[in-house]
Amino acid sequence: MEQFLKELGKKADEKQTENKKFFTKLKKKVPKNLDYIMQELHEEEFKKTDCLECANCCKTTGPLFTNADVERIAKHFRQKPQKFIENYLRVDEDNDYVLQQVPCAFLGADNYCSIYDVRPKACREFPHTDRKKFQQISNLTMKNVAICPAAYNIVEEMKKRIK
Ligand code: SF4
Ligand code: SF4
């Protein structure tokens, strides 16, 4: 995993043109069973990839925090939402709450998330490869393949499976 993560940025760069072409074609002609294919590819990939050996998303990007996330996590810490925001979050250029710094403050040295049960929705859903109408998030996915080895592998499998 460590070696794969080291090379991931370069590998994703090399695939950029190919991926862009693939997703443009996919959006023009969406397979009827795309939701089913994605579910299958996602499950197959996460049988092989252990997020606890990786945590690259928590180390390098971090999620957006919705208001519901802020309220739930602040409650977990018995803090006022405003206090939680002051302690951990900032507002980014799109006006969203994001982490003040990465790696995420809630990530342990063992790659466990210390707020796992109440973690942000975006953390639960990342890398979004099992979501419906996957073609709608192709721009985001093209960024995610440079961060997430599972997303990278899933896109590579998609290209083999969907001609
Ligand atoms: S979701 Fe992707 S980047 Fe995050 S820990 Fe799992 S494999 Fe790594
Ligand atoms: S809240 Fe947890 S899952 Fe989300 S980025 Fe931080 S450590 Fe990772």
CB of 63 within 6 A of ligand 2: the answer is yes
Atom of ligand 2 nearest to the CA of 62: 5
The domain limits of the chain are: 2-51+130-161, 64-125
- pTM score: 0.95
Pocket of ligand 1 (CB under 6 A): 49, 51, 54-57, 126-127, 147-150
The DSSP-derived string for the chain is -HHHHHHHHHHHHHHHHHHHHHHHHHHHS--TTHHHHHHHHHHHHHHH--GGGT-HHHHHT--EE-HHHHHHHHHHTT--HHHHHHHHEEE-TTS-EEESSSS-TTB-TTS-BTTGGG--HHHHHTT-TTSSSGGGGHHHHHHHTTT-HHHHHHHHHHHHH--
- pLDDT (tens, 9 = 90+) of the chain, 163 residues, equals 999 999 999 999 999 999 999 999 999 999 999 999 999 999 999 999 999 999 999 999 999 999 999 999 999 999 999 999 999 999 999 999 999 999 999 999 999 999 999 999 999 999 999 999 999 999 999 999 999 999 999 999 999 999 8
